[in-house]
Every structure is written in structure tokens, then in C-alpha cells.
Structure 1
Amino acid sequence: MTDRRSFLKFGAGAAAAGALFPISSQASNGDTKWDQEYDIIIVGSGFAGLAAAVEAKRLNAKSVVVFEKMGVYGGNSTLNAGQSCFAGTELQTKLGITDSAELMVKDQLKAGRGIASESLLRHSAELGPYVYQMTQDCGVKYRDHIITTGGTSATRSHQTIERSGAGFIQPMLKTARELGVETHNRHKFEHLIRNDNGDVLGVQIRRGYHFGHEDSGELINVRCNKGVLIATGGFGFNVNFRMAQDPTLTAEVGCTNAKGATGDGLIEMLAAGATPVHLAHIQSGPWASPDEGGFGYGAGFSLYNFPHSIAIDRNTGQRFMNEIADRKTRADLELQRRDKDGNPQPALLIAPKAEAQKDPSMKKVLKYNVAWEFDSVEAIAAHFKVPLKPLQQQIKDWNGYVANGTDPQFGKRMDAGRGIKLTAPFIVQRLWPKVHYCQGGIQINTKAEVMAAKTGVPIKGLYAAGEVTGGIHGVSRLGGCSTPECLAFGITAARSMMEA
């Protein structure tokens, strides 16, 4: 049995967690009174949790339960742009796109800057075709248009017609229930229940929990016959925890996450002896707008328009980055945009209305004052106090790059912009990064088993999937790549538990 003192020896990330929170892990000597019992217990109702639930029932699990601590299902998964990168799909072939799992892994390893897990990335990418088909079997509907996301060498981000993660969550939740999965919201995960060997026997749940009222509800003990999957997501909204990993991510830095992203599952697994990986690698979204809270509408607008638009520094009127570089590259460069006194001066994304209006996000950003329409370059320069002549020259140069098919400034993939020039009228949105995704978490293997720090072997009965895990993406995660990873490892966890 691992006590708190021995747990603190496992690493700096884990130690920081222990210093900030009263961590404990409940043990059982065989005398635990069980209130409920299931074959498979799933904690978290996002992509990973629901994929595991569906797959487990497909594999004839007798009883599966999903516990969700919030009042609604889906967590962070409902808040994304509904994108998922798959390689080698029928839609790619239809659109004349050549791609492969091998190329997808290569792109992700490059973004990971030498510390991403090739084995885990490969497992996820190779399972992609099955994931793509399974989601469609559940009723997920994809658009006919595939999006180019930053850092990729092929266009592969498939998007739901809803353009939000709800396009995955709602049909998958419905399918899970139809297959017989029990789902319970306002059920907060408190502790793992383990025997004297450290094997996971079940979980302690706070039934009737209301977020922000930590003593609400009643405690129940739930036994598992095959395993527990922790799919509770990241810790982006836990300011103390994220500051322990990266002191620059103070409360002044915005966050795209749901408020329930507080790291409960991660912290409890660390207390149980799981191996912490890359906790300090916390990614900010370079597509975010400072003119709205959370993920917002601006993210969808910029994601759609980055390939054929330019981002300019308001001090110079010039581009300062490849608009479809990987997220870390762009976020770091955006954070460097400052006024003469060192205060934030968000960059401007300038998009041609003729193309921007083809995406539903344009109406939303204009309606909610997240972006503005201008009839001329002069109007943009006057409104944002940008040097006019350099801005005019930059747009002229950019349109020349479009015509020639090469970007001598920053090496942007010009095929992604499909020959679209930047012409009036323009839609302009401000850009400033927000905390978005935690690359760090606990270590798993390709069976989604949680690895023990002390022994280097799996903790029996314990599985994890999604953002609660770490080490998969390395320093920087490519856009559209968390969704397929969450789904793939949720499916993998279900398979592993059914084989146990």
C-alpha cells in the first residue's frame, strides 16, 4: 500500500500536487461495504468515457456504468470545435487527399519535439479507421469539408456538422444508453478503493454532488468486476495545480475548459502511485479571442480561416508567423505581441469575407462583437491604429504568395489556402491564447493500463484514457488530435478490461 509520504517521492509534478491538496487513497482489507457493483466502472462522460462504454457493451459486458460529476454530460469534450483527425478515410479519398497513419504519427512526433510517445501515437492513429466508423455507427454526422489544422502535412481534420464536440457526445451518449449503459450525473469520483496489494477493487463516489459544494451528497462504494476507467480530463481550471507546474499560468490567463476540469481523477491516481508524466507541458490555444470567455465562437472562426488568412502585428502591420504552424509555435509568438509599455496587444487575424462567410462561425463572431467587418485596408488601419503602408504592402505581398504558391516569409503550406486571395471586404478578429489542453497526466501503456511509478508495471484493475493521461503528445499537441486519441484509448480500455 502506498501512503502519502512514499507517494511524494515519485516526482516533482506529483510532489507539487501533494503540496497543494490533501491527497489520500482509500484502501480496503476486504471489509468494505459495497453499495453497488458493475463489471466496468467509467468515471467521466467525455469522448474517452463514452467510447469505452459503447465498446464495452459491443463486447457484451453485462453491466457498465458512467459516472459524471457535473450536472450535464460531456465535460470539455462538448466544448471543442467538433474536429477529429483521421488518416486514410473514404472522405479524404473522395476529396483527393493522400494521407496515412504513418504520416499522421510523423507530424505529431515533430510537434512533440522529441518527447512524444511514438507507440501511443501509433496505436491511436492506426485505430483511427475503426474509431471513425464506430462514431458514424453511433450517429455522428461529418461535414463533407475536411479542415487543415496547424502543423500537419495533410488535410485530415474531420468535423461534425454541428461544429462542436456535442456532435460526438450526444449520439454516443444516446447509443450507450440504448445498449444498456447506466449513466449518472452529479456523481463525483472521490477515491479509488484498493486492497493491500494496491489492486483496484472499485471507487468511492459522492452521489448527489453539486459542483462547488464539496460536501454535498452522500458517499457510496461501488465495486468493479473487471476494471475502473478514469477519463476525467485535464486540470486547466485548477489554477493552483497548473501554477505549480507552470507559474506563468496565473488566474489572469483565460481558459477554454469547462469549470469541472479540476484534475480530480489525476490527483487520485497520483496518490495511488501512478507515474506522472509531463505535467508542466500545458498548451494554450492560438486561435482564441480575448473578446469572449471560454472556448467561444472565435476559435471556430479562426480555425476555419487560418489557412487562407494572415495574422499581423499591430505595431508593424506585418505578419509574424506561419498561421498554420503547430499550436505552441503560434501561441508563443502571439504572446510576444506587446505595446511599447509591455502590455498585451493582441494580433489581428484578417480574413476575406468572401471565404469566411462560407462557415457558420462568421455570423456568430460578428453578432457577439468578437470580430468586425471592414470595407477597406484603410478602415482596418484606422480602427486598430496599425501603420497603413506596411499593412497595404503585406496584403499585396500575401496575394502574390497565393498566386505563386509559395510563402517566402514563413513557409506556410499554400495548398491549404486553395488559392484564395485576401480581398475586401474583410472580417477581422483579435488573437490571444488561452489555456486549453494539458499534455501532462499519468502514464499509460498501449493497453490503456495505468503504470505504477514504484514498480513500472500496471496497477491492476486501473485504466485511464484522454486528457488525464500524459506523455502522448510531448511538448505540443496538434489540433484535432486529442479527439481521436481520447476515443481510441477509451475503446482500448474497454477491450483490455473485457480481456482481463
Structure 2
Amino acid sequence: MTEKMNGISRKDFLKGAAVGIAGIATMGLVGCSKETAAPTESISWDQETDIVIVGLGGAGAAAAWQAGTAGADVIALELAKQAGGSTNICGGLINIGGGNALQKAAGFEDSVDNYYKYMVKALGLGADEEQIRVFVEKSPEMYTWLTETIGVEFKPGYNPRWPEPVNIDAGLTCTGDEFSNDYADVSIPIPRTGWVEGEGIPEGALTGRKNGSGFFQPLLRAVNAIPKIKILYETAGEELVFDHDAQRVIGVKAKQGEKAITIKARKAVILTAGGFALNKDMMKNYCPAYYGIPGLGTRGDNGVGIKMGQAVGADTRNMHCAYTTLSAASYFSQTSGAGGPLSQGVLVSQFGTRFIAEDHYYSYTPDYMLQNHYRAKYSPSYAIIDSKILADIPEASREKFTALIKAEASSIKELAKALGTPEGALENTLDFYNVGAAEGKDVVFNKQKKYITPITKAPFYAVEVKPSAAVFTTGGLRINTDAQVISAKSGNPIAGLYSAGRNASNVMGQQYGGSGVSVATCYVFGRIAGQKAAEETAWS
């Protein structure tokens, strides 16, 4: 960095070591003091607005729409040539509950309280119950906003759980653990995942015709229709400008190609730049259990937005938490619906012992495998099935499935020998399981009865199961229920700074809870950030 850049001296910005992230330098806070900061009036601004938004994915677009609708002038910075981020390329799933029209039309009666009880337990250790309460209370409103204001279409119908036939056209499915017996003590099982048709198949889309463009592109059109919103594409947010006298964020330093620009934010900056799954150093430092699994997202998921917040003293939460799935997830589930034919088997570690109910949501299982202290014994694990269960695998995917089979044998003892499990362990596991299964019971892990069947018909198979080649992070900047970023030093909001989406840590804890939770939090907390930022009093 030169002494003088675009008329702004180094003293105008926080001092610290530059952290290289995907070619973008982010400045740290270390060593900065009030005495070294230059007066605000000495800064030469290239542009100014009420609100600067860094990152125009789902959270950024929701924030921009809300702020622009509220009358604020907005400049949104987007690293890529087009908006969307991970939201645009995801599988078209969004978690919506509390009793919306889509649920009611499919014959399901939900409530905010029922939704809340499920989410508190399903999101696991480290989940923020205050934020969960806000999230679930806003969910019915979010559905109405998406369908009636933004123009997102959820087709009627329900995609049922296995073994009922797949309904690919349905707008409602169940991707989480709602029907797991582990949650029967707190909530009534209700499907809560909206499923949209994509507007074509975007480059990098994770799925086919059902993808996130179906609920992002209508939002982007709504954003583009608001004259007060200006989008700067191929513009990377780099640093926050912090006024030490006023103790607040007052702008953003960014890069357009090789050109450095500074943008004054009269009211606030909203960080919505994504997570850090594509930043290997951050994954190794913060999320070691998931380190080495290829990142799921776009190049914007490089952690820059989190680093920007940290540089002005922001606290973080749950930086060790992430989402991934299983290599055999599509057989533990039905197309975008939890529960599938492989859930009838037993999942064992390399010790030959069960460790989880096999009908859990397919992100819950790899979380257990990766975060267990004996990772080497849980990755890979093995799904043990017999010829009856193999016959339930759809014929269209049978060839692909057989490639996952690690061993085949005429007896469990021979299968154990092929896998190298401790002598007698796998045999005892199956003997014990089969006794209960003959009575329709899983006395250890309480699997749903529909997935309980004795594993007795030779030949027997061991299917290799391990965390898949995709991970995204769920930890980030600590925010409150108004989406304000919290100071690590004071525990109070940092004036003029908001965050949402994967840039922030909101409702999620040790577990993910169900496909589409991430997108839903982007929209709920993105809108909150936009509204609250628009309500700020301009500092100048």
C-alpha cells in the first residue's frame, strides 16, 4: 500500500497487517489508537451515500431492497460480475414455517411456537435463542413478502418422505429433522422447506432445474427497480473506515480493478459478503474439523467481510461451525426430502458400532463424524445393509450406488473381516439391532419405525459413508437481533455497522437444522439490517 492513495493518507484508515484473501487485502486493527487516526474532515471521498452494502447475495439484496424501500440511498458493492452469490446457485430450498399459506394448502397446520421449539433443539449447542425467536416470528411474513411483493412462486403440493413417490413439482418438502423421534418431545412434526423452480440453471448451480435463482432473481429485479439503489459490480470491499472520535464506522474502502475508491456511508455499512469456506487459512484456524473439505459457494466466500468486521473490533460467534453432507446422502434421503432407503440400514464406525439414528437429516450425521474426537474411526463409516434393502435403491441410480459398496459377504462375520472391524463387534451390533428390529423397535437410538427392518438376508453389504466434497461455514460476526455487529471489547453494538447472511452468526449453532435455513436467515436478517440501517440518523 502506498503512502498516498486516491488522496487519502494511510492515517485515515485503521493500521494493521494486510491479510491476503483471494487477492484482496484486508487491514487489521492491531496497534491502532485514537491518537494515530486522522480527522474525519481530512478524508477525500470518491462517492457517498446513506448505506454501503458489501456483497450482493441473498442477504445483501434483501438489505438493499429494504433500505431502498425505506427511502435510503444505497450503494451495493459486488465482487463478481453479477449478483447472487451462494443464494443464486443453491438447491432452491428455503426454510419457512410458522403456519404459512404453502403449508396450509398442503394440509399442514404449523405455529410459530411449534416452529421455535423445533429450531431451538435442532440447531444445537451455541444456537442463539433470542435470534431464533425473531427468525421464526418473521418467517410467515417472509413467505408473504417473497410471494406477494417480490414475486417468488412456490408451486402447490408436497414432496413426501420415502417410500412415497417423489413429487419433483411440489413447492413444499421436508429437508430437516422435523420427523426424527429425537424431536418428538418438543414439537409436532411439520414440513417447512419451500422448494422453487430456477430461472434456468445458473453457472455453478448445485442442482438441476430446481435452484436458488428462483428466489434470488425476482429479488434482484425488485432491487434494480429502486432508483435509490446503485450497484457497483466487480468492486471488492476491502476495509471499513472508522472514526475514533465518534467511535463509529463511517465508510468503506474498496477496489475496482486496480482503482482504489472510498465511499462515505452517512448512516451505516452492512456487511453481507458471505462466509469463509473458500479461505483455507481461515478454515484451518477456525474450523479445523472441516478443513480439507472443498468449499461450497462462490469466490466471495473468502472471509473478507468477517475480516473487515474484526479489524474494527467486532466479536465473532461459532466460527468452528459449518455445514456439510454425506457421500451417500441421496440414499439416506429422498430427493430434497429427509429419510430414504439407506436409512433402513445401520451406520457403524470403523469400530463396528452404531453411533447415531440413521434417519437423521443428512447434515446432522457428518457433523457428528467430523467433530468426534476419534475422527479417524468415523470417517469413513459404513452403512450395513442386506439384499432386501439393496432392492429398495432406485433402479436408475443402482449403478452409481454400487460404486459406493466397500465390501460384500455372505455373512456379517465375513463382512466384518473384510472391513477390519474389531473381532465380534459388528456381529454383536447386528445381533442386538435385529432383536429389536424384529419387534419394530430401535431401543438405542429410537429410529422411526418406518426405517426399522431386520438385516438378515444375505448377501450383506458395507457402503462407504464419509463427509462429502462440499462445506460452507455458519459462524461469523456476532450480531444482535437488530443485525448490529457487536464489539468484542465492550459487548455493545459498533455504531454504523450491521451484518447478515453467512458474514454473520445468527441462529445456527452446532447443527444446521435443515436445508434452506441459511437462505432464510439471509432474507430475514438482511431485511432487518436494511430497515434498521435506514432508520439511523446520518452522522454528517
TM-score range, shorter chain: 0.7 to 0.9
* Matched ranges for 1:254-265 at <5 A: 254-265=294-305
CA shift in 2, pair 1:337/1:475, >3 Å: closer
Aligned to 1:213: none
* Matched ranges for 1:79-478 at <5 A: 79-87=89-97, 88-137=99-148, 138-142=150-154, 143-150=170-177, 153=187, 154=189, 155-161=191-197, 162-180=209-227, 181-195=229-243, 196-208=245-257, 217-250=258-291, 252-279=292-319, 281-285=320-324, 287-289=325-327, 303-304=336-337, 306-307=339-340, 309=343, 310=345, 312-313=347-348, 320-325=355-360, 327-333=363-369, 344-345=379-380, 347-348=382-383, 407-414=442-449, 430-433=465-468, 436-470=471-505, 472-478=507-513
Q: Cα offset for 1:470?
A: 2.2
Q: Cα offset for 1:223?
A: 1.8
CA shift in 2, pair 1:43/1:243, >3 Å: same
Q: Which of the residues 459, 480, 492 maps onto 2:528?
A: 492
Q: Cα offset for 1:312?
A: 3.6
- What are the ranges of 5 or more consecutive residues in structure 1 without an aligned counterpart? 8-13, 15-19, 209-216, 291-295
Which whole-Å deviations, capped at 9, do the CAs of 1:84-120 have from their partners, x for residues lacking one?
Answer: 2222112222333232222232223224445321111
Please give the secondary structure, in 1, of the residue aligned with 2:337.
Answer: helix
Paired letter, 2:217: Q
CA shift in 2, pair 1:66/1:347, >3 Å: farther
Please give the secondary structure, in 2, of the residue aligned with 1:40.
Answer: strand
CA shift in 2, pair 1:139/1:300, >3 Å: farther
Q: Cα offset for 1:73?
A: 2.3
Which whole-Å deviations, capped at 9, do the CAs of 1:425-445 have from their partners, x for residues lacking one?
Answer: x9x885424563433222211
Which whole-Å deviations, capped at 9, do the CAs of 1:349-381 have from their partners, x for residues lacking one?
Answer: 989899986xxxx97x789x577699xx989x9
Q: Cα offset for 1:323?
A: 3.3
CA shift in 2, pair 1:118/1:315, >3 Å: closer
Paired letter, 1:74: G
CA shift in 2, pair 1:402/1:193, >3 Å: farther
Q: Is 1:70–2:70 an aligned residue pair?
A: no
Distance, in Å, in 2 between the alignment partners of 1:191 and 1:334 is 34
CA shift in 2, pair 1:57/1:248, >3 Å: closer
Q: Cα offset for 1:141?
A: 2.5
Q: Cα offset for 1:311?
A: 5.9
Q: Cα offset for 1:410?
A: 2.3
Q: Could you tell me the TM-score, scaled by structure 2's length?
A: 0.70
Distance, in Å, in 1 between the alignment partners of 2:196 and 2:366 is 25
CA shift in 2, pair 1:498/1:320, >3 Å: same
Please give the secondary structure, in 2, of the residue aligned with 1:96.
Answer: coil
Paired letter, 2:81: G
Please give the secondary structure, in 2, of the residue aligned with 1:119.
Answer: helix
Is 2:332–2:340's contact at 8 Å kept on the other side of the alignment? no
Please give the secondary structure, in 1, of the residue aligned with 2:42.
Answer: coil
Is 2:349–2:382's contact at 8 Å kept on the other side of the alignment? yes
CA shift in 2, pair 1:329/1:299, >3 Å: closer
Is 2:485–2:498's contact at 8 Å kept on the other side of the alignment? yes
Distance, in Å, in 1 between the alignment partners of 2:125 and 2:377 is 32
Please give the secondary structure, in 2, of the residue aligned with 1:223.
Answer: strand
Report which of the two structures shows the higher radius of gyration computed on alpha carbons. Answer: 2
Identity of aligned residues (%): 24
Paired letter, 1:240: D
Paired letter, 2:236: K
Q: Could you tell me the TM-score, scaled by structure 1's length?
A: 0.75
Which whole-Å deviations, capped at 9, do the CAs of 1:167-199 have from their partners, x for residues lacking one?
Answer: 222221122112333333211001112223231
Distance, in Å, in 2 between the alignment partners of 1:30 and 1:199 is 15
Please give the secondary structure, in 1, of the residue aligned with 2:498.
Answer: strand
Please give the secondary structure, in 2, of the residue aligned with 1:105.
Answer: helix
Q: Tell me how many residue pairs correspond in the alignment.
A: 457
RMSD over aligned Cα atoms? 4.6
Distance, in Å, in 2 between the alignment partners of 1:172 and 1:27 is 40
Is 2:437–2:453's contact at 8 Å kept on the other side of the alignment? no
Paired letter, 2:246: N
